[in-house]
Homo-oligomer: A and B are copies of this chain.
Amino acid sequence: MIVEIISVGTELLLGNIVNTNANYLAKECAGLGLSLYHQSVVGDNMERAVEVIKTAWERSDIVILTGGLGPTEDDMTKEACAKVLDRELIEDEHSKKRIVEFFERLGRTEITENNWKQAVVIKDSIVLDNPNGIAPGIIAEDDKKAMILLPGPPNELYPLFNEAVKPYLKRKTDKVIVSTMVKICGMGESKAETVIHDMIAAQTNPTVAPYAKTGEVHFRITAIADTEGEAEKLIKPTVNELKYRFGEMIFSTDEDESLADVVIKKLKLANKTLALAESCTGGLLASAVVDIAGVSEVFKEGYITYSNNAKIITLGLDEQKLQKYGAVSEEIAFDMAVLSAKLAKTECSLSITGIAGPNGATAEKPVGLVYIGCVCGKNVTVEKHNLSGNRQKIREQAVIKALDLLRRELSK
């Protein structure tokens, strides 16, 4: 089945935002075994939007549109689609009720007039409740084709696609597509690719596609078959081969599981608690941990000791030691980890101290030098890393390296 993606929004044409939605949908469509031949972007202009949608509707089986479902005047995706389909727009009572409920939850009684526009849908379409916003998703079917309208904000689009559109698209294809993820940490993308070069070169069904994320590489293994069981049987040897080649570097084979998820699960299972002491990452590690709901069972406290003074007073670091070795050193990473676990009375802890740049580097201590300390029960480990990229990238990588260190320690 041929699918096409249209992103609506002048902000894309002006270059104000990067089109990550199209990338997300492209990946999802590939995973569903749909053939994506065209992607396009059009601005908030009725005439041009109608033209683009018309072309897509003629040449593709499924047209997925994102954006332009907002309350403002320049949002006109629904109007343009209705024109192409030659259908009416009607007010959806259910969506109206959801708008009222949405604002009630926010404690607001006053609803601005333009918000009601978001309860308008294409006649005879499937309306998809949007759990994270006001604009519902819309699926307008015509013969064997489908036009799917989704909101632009990623935090609304992703769950809506995942929970409502994906099952819908799966029902439309007669083949079954099954895909599995194998996620690794501790090896760069180019290197990881050389490790499985022969597998990529020989692939037909299943296929193996590597995706690089900061500090991680994810492999998606996808098989197409008549039944789910058959597809899974096709996938299995490839997953086993990847497990054999990457071994302990694999932290998850679950699509929705992040490295932080894995670490928190392991902590819960081991009945261990966690403290954090951060310098250059300044809360980024703690934030990644707190991002996980229900983390309060294991995460006790974080110390963002950015200044040397904070390291001395809050953590109780030895001032002379700090002067002797410098804040970015194996010794200080070690002490930060040990002291934070002691202070917060936890069995585990992680510490990060490094030079995120662009300033603060010396000949011996370049930008990207990061030490990570880890307490896991009676074991204390310190790892040294030389990371590359800008300030933000270095800090992000340091967080992944820290979580991965604790993961490996907890697996021992």
Interface residues of A (CB under 8 A from B): 10-20, 22-30, 36-43, 45, 48, 52, 55, 70-74, 102, 105-107, 112, 114-115, 132, 153, 155, 189-191, 193-194, 197, 200-201, 209-212, 220, 276, 278, 280-287, 289-291, 293-296, 299-307, 309-310, 314, 343-344, 357-359, 366, 368, 386, 388-393, 395
Which B residue sits closest to A210, measured CB to CB?
B72
* Closest residue on chain B to residue A44 by CB atoms: B209
Given A38-B42, A366-B105: A283 touches B302 (CB 8 Å cut-off): yes
- CB-defined contacts of A358 to chain B, threshold 8 Å: 293
In contact, A39 and B13 (Cβ under 8 angstroms): yes
Tell me the bound Cα distance from A205 to B112 in angstroms: 28
Contact across chains for B304 and A283 when beta carbons are under 8 A apart: yes
Contact B296 A220 (CB under 8 A): no
Q: In angstroms, how far is the closest chain B Cβ from the Cβ of A213?
A: 9
Chain B residues with CB under 8 Å of A285's CB are: 283
Give the shortest distance, in Å, between A149 (CB) and chain B (any CB).
19
Most chain B beta-carbon neighbours within 10 Å: one of A212, A306, A386: A306
User: CB distance A40 to B37 under 8 Å?
Assistant: no
Within 8 Å by CB of A194, from B19, B112, B220, B314, lies: B112
Partner of A48, one of B37, B112, B286, B301: B37
B-chain residues with CB within 8 Å of residue A197 when the two chains form the complex = 73
Q: Tell me the smallest distance from the CB of A263 to a CB of chain B, in Å.
A: 15
Closest to A291 in B: B392
Please determine whether A107 and B194 come into contact, CB atoms closer than 8 angstroms: no
